[in-house]
Amino acid sequence: MNGLSALSLRLRIFLFFAALAAGAVGALFTGLWLAYHRLADPALLDPFVQGGLVAGFAILGLLAWVWYLFDTNVAKPIETLAGALRARAHADGAGEMDASIARYLGDLAPAARAAARRLDETQSALAMAVARETTRLAEEKSRLEALLADVPVAVLLCGPLHDIVFYNGQTLQLLGISATDQAHAPGLDRTLFDTLRDGPIRMAHARLLALDDPDAATDFLCTTRDGARLLSARMRLLGRSASQASYVLTLRDVSAESTRHASREAFLDEVFDRMRRPAAALLTLAEALPIEGPKAGNPNTVPRLLTAMRAEANGLAQSVTELATRRDQARVTAWPLPLTRAQDLSESLHARFAEQGLRLTADAPDLFLRLNAFEIVDLLSGLAQCVAHDTQATSFRLEITEENGGATLRLIWSGAPCPMARLDAALDDPPATNGGIALTGRAILAAHRTDIWPETRGTDSAFVLPILRIRHATRRPAPLPRAVTYDFDLLARDRTASLSAADAAAPLETLTYVVFDTETTGLLPEQGDEIVQIAAVRIVNGRRVAGEVLDMLVNPGRKIPLASTDVHGISDAMVQNAAPVADALRRFHRFAEGAVLVAHNAPFDMTFLKRREAELGLTFDHPVLDTVLLSAVIYGQHEVHSLDALSHRLGITIPEELRHTALGDTEATADAFLRLMAMLKGRGITTFAQTLTEVRKHSRLLRDLN
């Protein structure tokens, strides 16, 4: 009975009618044979045979016709109705049930529709009740995520086997990974050692496990995988046993600090070395000076010694002066002044001058100046007031020019220049500012490591203020990733069991999946068609990870036919500067490492991957699940299993602008896969091996790739 129950309903009904036909035909021929033997007339054999054949074919035809009607109007609608009920029970948001599919089943279809509607109402009421009860928790979660997103250091939470459970956006920034380069980014349920060198981290973890202190933390240095960045790390355990010793890791980039420290140490070594030698020479010469005066017969001894001492002293003074200058330059380089756009500075000055009844025009290039804008505005507006008081000038012009690796600010007016004595006096008095900050002009100049002086330009006069540090304006960088990515349920996973797809008992929800789709130049890879776009998303612990997405255009190395562009909208111009196919597939292979691949009509997409394996030196030997076959398991082979049809049945909406794009189809396939996985679980199909057994029953539709 167990063997029969494993067969589909339609196949069991077919076998029932086949058995009925065999029994009817067998009974017919048995009856004819008994009648012939009782008559014992050989002349009647041919009529008996002919009558039996006609009756047999009539019975077979009648039963075949009845089976066809039963299959079309009973078995097939029951299978379709069962799939629809599964969708309503296990896939949230499934489409409306069509009662006409089972119009010959009496009240079954209306009753199923009423039950589904009632289930929807119950689920809706339950969802509303749960939503009301969890609103406060959701708000607290949102606040916590916002807080963690703005923590100025990289924070990771890792499991006992160093698998990532949580990371914030600063982690990507610290590692120098762009938001689009997901192939090299950390990811949930990936090992931390894909990103960081493992040695220091393993040693720190073992050191904390050896301590019997729940509050212990350890500081250490580690590097990125490529050794390009030196990181200062702090680790704290969240559990004490080796199997539960998850930990929090905070990281800070100290590469620049290390470089500056090494440079500072080298500088100090040079200072001591260059001062030590002249000092030693002066000491030697001083010991050689005669106390009583010139020796007999050599009256020039003392003058020569004094001349040598003077030369050494001059050399020492020059060395000290040069080193002091270099020290000042180093202090300027490290001085923590903010970058201010030149246009913003000119607008602030314009507003301050207007408050003082003065007029200012400005010529500001697209530069960033390293200065304190509030202090410079105070300084220049105060000097402008002095000029206006002394010369009655009310119109000024601000020029900002790039000079000598820095920039020069010139505050220009028409009229007599400002005497140096008047400028010195103005710099000694704090300007009257709206904020009441009592900083003198000299203090402001000292803070900026610069100076100011008057200048005459024909009939115009000016104050000249150099700014030592600038930066050219570039295209605005992309906003920093602020999202945090986590799944704390991964901490509770049993890590003693194998979670690979090769394990026949691996539960479906414990596996990591990469759902992907490609857009191509055509449908014939064996004739040279290539990928023009590839997109993928990761599913971890039964949920799609929103922040882990691979979406990239690919340069196919050949022309894209207009017919293909009409389908997916990708033209030759769009892929001109895109990565070549080999680079794109390497990035995808890294993104999909250790995961089960999921696609809709997977053999087509996998063909484009596998034909490049020899060139890449990589193998795409991942386990593969196909949503076409999974749909057949749930809905039967007779249904249409296109992505559009499947999305419609499951209530998934694909925005029109994303249809036939790799990312849009990938997201739709991922949502469909999650709902199909829930429906499989509802049918008792919970492991990867059981899923493969079911999909292979439908290999007539599509070839299974495992």
Which contiguous run of DSSP H or E holds residue 367? strand 367-370
Q: What is the pLDDT of residue 333?
A: 46
What are the domain boundaries of the chain?
Answer: 2-102, 150-253, 258-291+300-334, 339-468, 497-698
Q: Which CATH class is domain 339-468?
A: alpha beta
Residue 498 has a pLDDT of 46
- How many alpha carbons fall within 13 Å on the CB side of residue 243? 6
Q: What is the pLDDT, as a whole number, of residue 590?
A: 92
DSSP assignment letter at 355:
H
CATH of domain 497-698: 3.30.420.10
Tokens of 58: 């009539």
pTM of the model: 0.57
Q: Quick one: pLDDT at residue 384?
A: 92
Distance CA 214, CA 158 (A): 17
Beta-bridge mates of residue 465: 409
The pLDDT averaged over each successive group of 10 residues in the chain (706 residues) is 66 83 84 78 76 83 85 79 72 61 68 72 77 75 70 86 86 69 72 86 85 78 78 83 79 72 62 68 63 52 66 70 63 59 83 88 84 85 90 91 87 90 84 52 82 89 88 58 66 56 72 93 90 94 87 92 89 91 93 92 92 91 92 86 88 78 91 91 87 87 79
Residue pLDDT, tens place only, 344-386? 788 888 888 988 889 999 888 888 888 888 788 888 998 999 9
What six digits make up the tokens of 59? 């019975």
Q: Which position has the token pair 């990761």? A: 538
Q: Which CATH architecture has domain 150-253?
A: 2-Layer Sandwich (3.30)
3-state DSSP assignment of residue 264: helix
Per-residue pLDDT reduced to its tens digit, 421-476 = 889 888 887 655 444 445 678 878 877 888 999 999 888 999 999 988 777 766 54
The torsion region of residue 128 among left (phi > 0), alpha (psi -120 to 50) and beta comes to: alpha
Residues 286 and 288: their CA atoms lie apart, in Å, by: 5
**The tokens 């082979």 sit on which residue?**
637
